[in-house]
Amino acid sequence: MVERLTTGRRVFVAVNYALLLFMSLLCLLPLIHVLSVSFSSSEAATAGLVKLWPVEFTASSYQFVLAKPAFLTSVGVTLQRVAIGVTVNMLLTILVAYPLSKEVTKFPYRTVYVWVFVITILFHGGLIPQYMIVKYTGIMDTIWALVLPSVVPVFNVVLLLNFFRGLPKELEEAAFIDGAGHWTTLWRVIVPLSAPALATITLFATVGHWNSWFDGLIFMNSPEHYPLQSYLQTVVINRDLSLVSSSDMKSLMEVSDRTAKAAQIFLGALPILLVYPFLQRFFMKGIVLGSVKE
């Protein structure tokens, strides 16, 4: 469509571009600022000289952070929770989504099961009862405390079951005619066809596990079992000096609290930034998947 550009339209377009650019910078610049602080010398950072580019460039705060055993241990815990948590999440999401994607005529018990899961998103027991259940089931201070309480992400189940429903029914029927049961059909026909949806949900689950911090804070008794985000909560947000060892203290003086915090903030965000291009490609699909309803 060829349109004649009036003066008013030109002004609008210019203002619009400026406004949108301003909003995107608002989202990006704080991160760039913190990144610049993390690569600046402690004197420059403390004196507030750093704007959007490192002043007196140095990577010493990264050397300091990456040499801290507590930091590295927490990264290890996070990697462990992501590996175990996402695997179990995905397995259960698939296993729950498949039966629930059946029509009521094909699986009469569907309604009952759906309600069992719906109730969990409508009504919560609350923080303290959840804490007690984790305590009484004996998983406190283990990796399972970070995995089991949120083991079936209901919204991911909804996304996936909607995707399953969108697949051509003929494929499944053909599999049944060839003598395949539900298990074979699920793993050999449905799952291979659902790669885009599964990729989306895997990413959602990964980001979710990477970003979780509160469960680590309350379910882990000892700081060396903290996942990264819980550890960052204690050092970046709540400066807990008990977690800073005396040798750390000495090097901290050289590194400055501010640049060290900035480096840790950036390292905590880094994996998300790395998978972000994939995330962006997939989540649009994910949202669209979720909106497909019959």
Partner 1 sequence: MIKKLKSPYWPLHLMLLPGLLLVVIYSYGPLFGIIMAFQKFKPAKGFFDSPWAGFDNFQYVLDMPDSARILWNTVIIALFKIVAGFIVPIIVALLLNEVRKDVFKRGIQTMIYLPHFLSWIILGGILIDILSPSSGIVNQLLAWVGIEPIYFLGDNRWFRQVLVMSDVWKEFGFNTIVYLAALTSINPSLYEAAIVDGAGRWKQTWYVTLPGMMPIIVLTLTLSLGNVLNAGFDQVFNLYSPQVYETGDIIDTFVYRIGLIDAQYGVATAVGLFKSVVSFAFISISYYLAYRLANYRIF
Binders of partner 1 among residues 116 to 135 (CB under 8 A) are 116-118, 120-135
Q: Dig out the tokens for 137 from the structure.
A: 């089931």
Shortest Å distance, C-beta 246 to partner 1:
24
What residues numbered 52-91 form the site for partner 1, per CB under 8 A?
none
* Burial grade of 236 (CB within 10 A; 0-12, 13-18, 19 or more): middle
Instruction: Give me the least distance between CB of 51 and partner 1, in Å please.
Output: 7
Contact 214, 27 (CB under 8 A): no
Of 248 and 258, CB closest to partner 1? 258
How many residues in the shown chain lie near partner 1 by CB under 8 A? 96
Under rule CB under 8 A, residue 5 binds partner 1: no
**Residue whose token pair is 């089931």:** 137
What is the rounded CA–CA span in Å between residue 132 and residue 258? 37
- Return the residues of window 218-237 that contact partner 1 according to CB under 8 A: 218, 229, 232-233, 236-237
177 binds partner 1 (CB under 8 A): no
- Comparing CA positions, the residue from 146, 140, 138 lying closest to residue 80 is 146
Residue 179 interacts with partner 1 (CB under 8 A): yes or no: no
Contacts of partner 1 in 147-166 (CB under 8 A): 148-152, 158, 161
* Cβ 24 to partner 1 shortest distance, Å: 4
241 contributes a contact to partner 1 by CB under 8 A: no
Q: Is 242 in the site for partner 1 (CB under 8 A)?
A: no
Using rule CB under 8 A, residue 252 touches partner 1: no
191-220: contacts with partner 1 (CB under 8 A): 207, 210-214, 218
For the bound state, the minimum distance from the C-beta of residue 223 to partner 1, rounded and expressed in Å, comes to 15
Pick from 11, 14, 20, 171: which binds partner 1 (CB under 8 A)?
20
Among positions 253-292, residues that touch partner 1 (CB under 8 A) are 258, 261-262, 264-265, 268-269, 272, 276, 279-280, 283-284, 287-288, 291
Identify the CA nearest to 78 among candidates 215, 172, 195, 183.
Answer: 215
Name the residue nearer to partner 1 (CB basis): 247 or 253.
253
Whether residue 245 contacts residue 224, with contact meaning beta carbons closer than 8 Å, is answered with no
d(CA 168, CA 69): 52
CA-nearest of 32, 29, 25 to 262 is 32
- Cα–Cα distance, 201 to 207 (Å, whole number): 10
Q: Which is nearer to partner 1, 245 or 280 (CB)?
A: 280
Rounded least distance, CB 122 to partner 1, Å: 6
Long-range contacts at 276-285 (CB < 8 A, ≥ 24 apart): 278/203, 279/203, 279/207, 282/196, 282/199, 282/200, 282/203, 283/200, 283/203, 283/204, 285/196, 285/197, 285/200
Shortest distance in whole angstroms from residue 253 CB to partner 1: 17
